[in-house]
């Protein structure tokens, strides 16, 4: 009888130990559109807890990444259904001094998601704009939160009060690019691009184009998804280091994580991290220290000209799917080479000596 009792007790101890061990943690595969905040909500834990148990230095995560979920910190009640979380959209009203990258960092989301959720094509924002800072539900993904108009605009006598863009607009007294763009539902940067404006100054009687001209077709060589040529740096590490910096603020002349990056500072930082020892040069400096490639591959450089100054003035790194990663005015971001602005200023693909 004693032996039977001891056996049952031992079995119970082993079973309880196994159950406790299996309840300590689980894993979760990151889905497209996920953020640490959304995952934490689904599993009833906190963003800080997720970062701690997964040794994350930032809130940036990637699709298919495996995260540990500490189940012991979660209540025993069933997790919130994903549909419920998606429908709870949080918004943020822009204040003076804000930037998109600053807003994204404050809400622990990526700059790319913030722009995608709000259907933004530019990083230019204004005080009073209202943006979604959590992923909208599928029923609202086609709707962009309307920027809040300033009181001074309420009495505008412009005949451009309709939000449907027309082909042209004639400037009237009291107009500004911001007022015209707001009334016509287009951005200031687009107005300047479509009308070849180098400043925000406009004149009474001036006719502005309100539609994007059909882009001239530019044939570009196909980018190899998988590197086929040997290089003297680690391409995988190069892309990983570059992705870690997504959303990092832009700073002219910047070349460090603590201050921010400009385009050439970004190149210097990630290539050195990947094992390529290079000096800190300007965009045209890197242009002169590289050679053209007929079959560009992931990790190669892409150069642009005549952006904010004449000549070679910007560069980034090819990441596949006809996209490149670079430090632009809105911070470190991934952009398509089919983007009308960058296609217009595209110069060529090169590789560092």
Catalytic residues: 263, 314, 326
From the list 306, 307, 262, 271, the residue with the least C-alpha distance to 289 is 271
Determine the Cα–Cα distance for residues 231 and 234; give it in Å rounded to an integer.
Answer: 8
Q: What is the CA radius of gyration of the chain?
A: 26
Percent of the chain that is helix, strand, coil (3-state, to 5): 30, 20, 50
Determine the Cα–Cα distance for residues 234 and 227; give it in Å rounded to an integer.
Answer: 11
From the list 247, 238, 239, 236, the residue with the least C-alpha distance to 58 is 247
Q: How many CA atoms does the CB half-sphere of 73 hold within 13 Å?
A: 17
């Amino acid at each position: 009888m004693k032996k039977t009792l001891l056996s049952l007790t031992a079995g119970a101890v082993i079973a309880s130990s196994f159950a406790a061990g299996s309840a300590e943690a689980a894993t979760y595969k990151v889905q497209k559109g996920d953020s640490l905040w959304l995952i934490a909500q689904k599993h009833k834990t906190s963003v800080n807890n997720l970062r701690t148990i997964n040794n994350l230095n930032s809130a940036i995560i990637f699709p298919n990444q495996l995260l540990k979920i500490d189940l012991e910190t979660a209540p025993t009640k069933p997790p919130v259904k994903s549909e419920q979380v998606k429908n709870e959209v949080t918004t943020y009203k822009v204040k003076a001094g804000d930037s998109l990258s600053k807003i994204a960092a404050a809400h622990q989301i990526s700059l790319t998601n913030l722009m995608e959720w709000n259907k933004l094509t530019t990083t230019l924002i204004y005080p009073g704009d209202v943006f979604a800072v959590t992923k909208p539900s599928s029923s609202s993904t086609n709707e962009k939160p309307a920027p809040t108009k300033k009181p001074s605009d309420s009495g505008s006598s412009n005949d451009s009060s309709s939000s449907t863009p027309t082909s042209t607009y004639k400037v009237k007294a009291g107009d500004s690019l911001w007022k015209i763009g707001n009334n016509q539902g287009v951005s200031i940067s687009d107005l300047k691009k479509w009308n070849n404006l180098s400043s925000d100054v406009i004149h009474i009687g001036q006719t502005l184009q309100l539609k994007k001209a059909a882009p001239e077709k530019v044939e570009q060589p196909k980018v190899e998804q998988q590197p086929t040529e040997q290089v003297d740096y680690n391409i995988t590490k190069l892309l990983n280091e570059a992705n870690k910096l997504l959303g990092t603020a832009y700073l002219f002349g910047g070349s460090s994580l603590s201050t921010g990056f400009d385009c050439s500072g970004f190149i210097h930082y990630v290539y050195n991290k990947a094992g390529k020892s290079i000096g800190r040069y300007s965009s045209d400096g890197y242009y002169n220290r590289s050679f053209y490639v007929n079959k560009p591959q992931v990790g190669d450089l892409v150069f642009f000209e005549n952006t904010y100054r004449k000549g070679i003035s910007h560069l980034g790194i090819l990441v596949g799917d006809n996209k490149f990663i670079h430090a632009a005015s809105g911070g470190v971001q991934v952009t398509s080479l089919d983007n009308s602005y960058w296609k217009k200023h595209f110069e060529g693909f090169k590789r560092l000596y």
